[in-house]
């Protein structure tokens, strides 16, 4: 997620606050609104939507360790998604797969 947010350039400083405020239905300020619009455009270029990214933000908040191992390469992360996934986390699988594809497309990993 941080690598995707990093693609926002100067707008990345507002991204975390904007995502937090979206998650909890709080009001966005102008900078946060602009950041979200830039993020939507960035995500659209890699066949993702803001809802996908919000789910990624949610799963990151719940547990990095569930889907990430230290020094894991992109291929291993994609293969891990093919492993049996618990019912409670299946909703996160599609946006994680899209994010891994985006990271590969952008050459960030």
Contact call for residues 89 and 59 (beta carbons, < 8 A): yes
Burial (Cβ within 10 Å: 0-12, 13-18, ≥19) of residue 95 = buried
State pLDDT tens for residues 40-97: 998 898 888 998 888 887 777 665 555 555 566 777 777 766 665 556 667 777 888 8
Tokens of 26: 């709080």
Contact call for residues 23 and 54 (beta carbons, < 8 A): yes
Which pTM does this prediction carry? Answer: 0.61
Q: How far apart are CA 51 and CA 57, in angstroms?
A: 10
State pLDDT tens for residues 76-86: 777 766 665 55
Structural domain boundaries in the chain? 2-106
Contacts of 103 by beta carbon, 8 Å cutoff, 6+ apart? 3, 4, 74, 109
């Amino acid at each position: 997620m941080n690598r995707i947010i990093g693609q926002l350039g100067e707008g990345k400083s507002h991204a975390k606050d904007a995502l937090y405020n979206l998650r909890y239905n709080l009001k966005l300020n102008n900078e946060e609104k602009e950041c979200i619009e830039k993020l939507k455009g960035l995500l659209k270029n890699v066949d993702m939507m803001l809802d996908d990214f919000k789910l990624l933000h949610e799963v990151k908040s719940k547990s990095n360790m569930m889907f990430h191992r230290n020094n894991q390469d992109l291929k291993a992360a994609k293969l891990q998604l093919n492993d049996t996934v618990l019912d409670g986390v299946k909703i996160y699988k599609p946006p994680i797969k899209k994010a891994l594809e985006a990271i590969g497309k952008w050459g960030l990993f």
